[in-house]
A and B are shown apart, each in its own frame.
Chain A
């Protein structure tokens, strides 16, 4: 125990010189301190060294004891006598303090003379050394010893005197000591309450005279153990021959200390250290010892506050030795995938390096996986769900392991709430076994990352200002200046450290997630707030997430669509050559994509081949054949029957968005063939329309509302098939090219009486070509005129051409070219009529079309009985490419006779002949037949299409349009039929009035008469 001190004494001779009574005390104190040192060996080692120095330095001041503590002092008093003995031994040769010296001499004399007498009353003087000295004296005196009584007598008296003096002297000393104690003891006591700073610190600093400190390498983490074993060794060796020559040992290890792996030993000589540490575990004195500079010694002992770990969030419990922590965490296991490569050896016998690469992902321990890969290393109990695998223990999927504190990062750990909840939900019974509150608190401490910005609404939840709510106006480091907005302090500005602050939100606030959360950059509305956990409903996916309020901040009102690089939500992307997908979720670094097969997958942006630009004009046909386009609302047929708005059409897949579900951001994928239109965007009726809907607001229509906007109702099939009796050629089959006459028809077939051979054959109507019975010219689009079958038989080429032709108004060139011949080669009579367009006046008016209707008649002249006529107009109209032109033709101006025309329009298709009336004419007359006329009437361009000669084909897709025509209008049926015959009779009458006016000469007013004359009715009759 007293080793250090003894050592000290032995070594420092100079110190001994100053060893009067007070010095004893100080010496004692050193002893006590040394004891302390060894006992606790704490970082307060500094104190001990300082204390040790103190007596040395302070003796010079005569102030030696001022720092000693009382107890030690009192004890010293008691011991004083004994101590003095020691002193005497030591001080034999001392010559500095005169009175002592003298006294010694006296003592010796006394001893010499009356040894036995004074023995017990004086201090014990039986030391060998003393005796030796005495002997010396005796020897000296012997020569002068004559032994007479008088001398003896005087001697005795002398001795008595001496003894008296001695006694007095002794008493003086005692008194002196007591007075010192009184004086300084009090003083010391008075200022002893730790006010050591009065002593200049520099006087306490180590000097060259003090032992030096050496740093000795040891095993990291074992520092404290080493110190313990040094202490133990000191105790063992104490009092033996080979006492250790070191004065102190301490360590400054710690997880984050730069002094870890070192033990500091104080000694006068390096060899003492080597000796003391020889053969000790975990410490390596043979390596180079680091001599600590005198200047650095105090720094070495500076105390740092170490973070304290508390069981809870991340650390489960602390083991006894205070060095290890039992930690529960989610392991990163690969279940031996890499171990194999570890255990395997290469041909050259060298171990393969473990595969480098990303760490395996964090995952709860899976018994199944482990069993699959490495069953031998797995033991455990499925009941308790505690497993041992490869020497590690797993509880409920978590790896539980003792880990050295210094290997843990405890500062600035910011787990995401998700991570935390994983631990929380680990409880078997669902009870939270981790206190979220304490965790939140521990997180708050590390909220260095929390950022407050001006205008953040914050709340003080800790400290004096607890409960204050305000708006941050200034943020400086970790001090936030806030303007109080609620409560008594309204209007005041206060400074608060961020530590006690949290952001404050209200239900319904639109917020953005910032910071370390997994949900970073999500936007949403707050639906719940509890403490500092905020639940919000995300904008993108309508799901609820919970984050810490520190990770939130108020978002601008405009919700930015989530995007990652060039990819943003709902984009269509190409995943591989055959797969496309729609982005349904954008995370910080990855995207979730719903591919065309309905699978979702999470991908990195780099896995996207390219982004498909949105095709606004993409078109597809739904299961009913209706056109669908982006933004149309469709419904799945069968399946889940989902209904949604189309956002992408890609080949045969549609990606739709629905509000019904939040899954995949409401996106679902379907095949075009399995959806049907619910509503088309903007009430589009016909797919063909794009661009401004010119008809809708056409002033011309508005001016003449009656019946204008309507299309004739679908033709009714009345009477006999008009094909009957027509001259036809056969286009296909074994009878191809033969001429004949139709005797009878069914819906699809005609019985044709061949001219060449008296035979009646049955031929599909589609294989027939109608010819003019006189000229032999082909009559195109005959079908359109025909009330019967053709309607449903768009297959017929001519008919197919028809739509084009109609479209002709739009693509005049082709259409016209196709048709031109027909109209250019009007049969005589018809030719006469065609002039309309050739004719100056009419031509100007684009009468062409009106004429057309007439021209048609190659067959029966002006009558246009055959739809073909009606077609021509289109042709003419085709001349003007702009649809407007069409309208122009329709313009009332043109129709000038508008009202009349109307009248004339009467079914009496004849009116058609009158160009003037034309507009109206075509109208009445066209019913269905003349594309142009219909176009005219029809409010929608679509309609005009329909009007097209091929009513059949058109009808199918857009029956509505077709039907549109108001019945109020001159019943087309009537008109139509009238055109054909019997019924024409009544109409003509109507027609008569108008045309009559116009007279034959005037083209504009095609003489109805003439026209009438032409009426097919008669014609047919003739033919027949």
Chain B
């Protein structure tokens, strides 16, 4: 789910950039540093604006200036039970991996309807029920997130398509 979220971050600036446009630089650096990162439980998708850039403080020793910047960002946090659309990126006999934006989702065979079976002989290997559903790399699927796990710099989720209205999306 997406949220607008007020956050704060400390940005350091090299002395060579000290000057009248420091705030721009700080903002620029903030964008560069923060956008697209994952902080434990959510991804920072985009920074809307910054406010309240503090006065810079020189850090002893390095000469860098540190600014505390408040900013407003669009963040995305995947929740248990949330349904997302994703693209399959890899398939193996244990299940398949799909990506919903930056989030990798694993869907285990246990969480795939019984009639959709692993077919290793197809090229590329796929899950299929030999009817209307075929899951292979590149397939668009609708997945319900069952659990998430945070790792350094990334989130992981396991998902299920074993429910009504989940599974492949007809394109």
Residues of A that sit less than 8 Å from B by CB? 507-510, 525-528, 535, 537, 539, 542-544, 557-559, 659-662, 692, 694, 697-699, 702, 884, 887
Contact = CB atoms under 8 A, between A and B. Distances in A.
Contacts of B90: 659-661
B150 A697 contact: no
Contacts of B160: 507
A510 B151 contact: no
Contacts of B14: 692, 694, 697
Contact of A544 (B25, B94, B151): B94
Given A559-B151, A697-B29, A527 B16 contact: no
A662 B94 contact: yes
Contacts of A692: 14
Contact of A698 (B17, B80, B149): B17
Interface string B2-16: 000000000000101
Interface residues of B, number: 30
Contact of B16 (A537, A659, A887): A887
Contacts of A543: 94
Interface in B102-156: 104, 106, 108, 110-111, 145-151, 156
Given A507-B160, A692-B14, A697-B29, A659 B149 contact: no
B25 A527 contact: no
Contacts of B156: 539
A229 to B, nearest CB: 60
B38 interface: no
B106 to A, nearest CB: 6
A542 B158 contact: no
5 contacts: A507-B146, A535-B110, A557-B150, A558-B150, A699-B17
B147 A526 contact: yes
B60 interface: no
Contact of A697 (B28, B104, B108, B149): B28
B94 A699 contact: no
Looking at chain B's contact residues, the main secondary structure is strand
Nearest to A526: B147
A697 B110 CA distance: 51
Contacts of B80: 508
B19 interface: yes
Contacts of B24: 702
Interface in B71-114: 80, 89-90, 92, 94, 97, 104, 106, 108, 110-111
A542 B106 contact: yes
Contacts of A544: 94, 108, 110
A418 to B, nearest CB: 18
Contacts of A698: 16-17
B21 interface: yes
Given A535-B108, A544-B94, A702-B21, 5 more contacts: A527-B111, A528-B110, A542-B94, A559-B151, A697-B29
A543 B148 CA distance: 16
A537 B97 contact: no
A981 B106 CA distance: 67
A508 B17 contact: no
A537 B150 CA distance: 15
8 nearest A-B pairs in the assembled complex, by CB-CB distance: A508-B147, A508-B146, A528-B110, A527-B108, A525-B147, A507-B146, A527-B110, A699-B19
B15 to A, nearest CB: 8
A212 to B, nearest CB: 69
Contacts of B108: 527-528, 535, 537, 544
Nearest to B90: A660
B26 to A, nearest CB: 10
Contacts, number: 73
Contacts of A527: 108, 110-111, 146, 158
Nearest to A542: B106
Which of A535, A660, A697 has the largest number of chain B CB atoms within 10 A? A697
Nearest to B110: A528
A694 B16 CA distance: 8
B102 to A, nearest CB: 13
A537 B97 CA distance: 13
A526 B19 CA distance: 54
Nearest to B151: A559
A537 B158 contact: yes
A662 B92 contact: yes
Contact of B158 (A525, A662, A887): A525
A543 B106 CA distance: 11
Contacts of A697: 14, 17, 25, 28-29
Nearest to A695: B16
A557 B94 contact: no
Contacts of A557: 149-150
B25 A699 contact: yes
Contacts of B25: 697, 699
Contacts of A702: 21, 24
B158 A508 contact: yes
Contacts of A528: 108, 110-111
Nearest to A523: B149
Contacts of B110: 527-528, 535, 544
A559 B149 contact: yes
Nearest to B13: A697
Contacts of B111: 507, 527-528
Contacts of A525: 146-147, 149, 158
Contacts of B147: 507-510, 525-526
A526 B16 CA distance: 52
B165 to A, nearest CB: 18
A661 B94 CA distance: 11
Contacts of B97: 659
A206 B81 CA distance: 74
A510 B104 contact: no
Nearest to B104: A659
A537 B157 CA distance: 11
Nearest to A694: B16
A662 B28 CA distance: 38
A525 B156 CA distance: 10
Nearest to B25: A697
Nearest to A544: B94
A143 to B, nearest CB: 117
A660 to B, nearest CB: 5
Nearest to A693: B14
A884 B17 CA distance: 10
Which of B29, B110, B148, B151 has the largest number of chain A CB atoms within 10 A? B110
A702 B24 CA distance: 11
Contacts of B145: 508
A510 B158 CA distance: 10
Contacts of A558: 150
A537 B160 CA distance: 13
A659 B156 CA distance: 12
A694 B80 CA distance: 43
Contacts of A508: 80, 145-148, 158
A544 B111 CA distance: 13
B97 to A, nearest CB: 7
Interface in B27-48: 28-29
A608 B148 CA distance: 35
A539 B92 CA distance: 17
Which of B19, B97, B158 has the largest number of chain A CB atoms within 10 A? B158
A698 B16 CA distance: 7
B169 to A, nearest CB: 22
A864 B89 CA distance: 57
A885 to B, nearest CB: 10
A434 B24 CA distance: 72
B92 A699 contact: no
Contacts of B16: 694, 698, 884, 887
A308 B58 CA distance: 78
Contacts of A887: 16
B67 to A, nearest CB: 14
Contacts of A535: 108, 110
B38 to A, nearest CB: 14
Contacts of A526: 147
Nearest to B108: A527
